[in-house]
């Protein structure tokens, strides 16, 4: 989750735009956890909550998860 948050902030800072049209995450799970780890649902929820905060801050028009 932390890498996603750092990545989206860097993308906005490096851009000449004041916002990004869409932030889309394919599969929100912590990279250091096994796919079947029971903590993954919590990580997915926390990641999506961070995406919602980003949308609320008007730095992006749309957010989503594709998987």
**Structure-token pair, residue 51:** 């995406």
With a CB cutoff of 8 Å and minimum separation 6, the contacts of 66 are: 24, 25, 26, 27
- pLDDT (tens digit per residue) in 7-54: 655 666 666 777 778 888 887 777 788 888 898 888 888 888 888 888
Instruction: Using alpha carbons, select from 17, 14, 67 the residue that is nearest to residue 44.
Output: 67
Place 58 in a pLDDT band, splitting at 50, 70 and 90. Answer: confident
Cα→Cα distances 11→5, 15, 29, 39, Å: 10, 6, 20, 28
Please report the pLDDT score of residue 40 as a whole number. 85
Q: Which long-range contacts (CB under 8 A, 24 or more apart) does 34-41 make?
A: none
The predicted pLDDT at position 2 comes to 45
Boundaries of every domain in the chain: 2-65
Report the predicted TM-score, pTM, of the whole model to 2 decimal places. 0.67
């Amino acid at each position: 989750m932390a890498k996603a948050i750092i990545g989206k902030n860097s993308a906005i800072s490096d851009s000449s735009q004041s916002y990004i049209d869409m932030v889309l995450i394919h599969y929100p799970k912590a990279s250091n956890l096994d796919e079947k780890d029971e903590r993954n649902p919590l990580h997915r929820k926390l990641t999506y909550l961070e995406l919602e905060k980003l949308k609320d801050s008007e730095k992006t028009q749309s957010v989503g998860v594709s998987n």
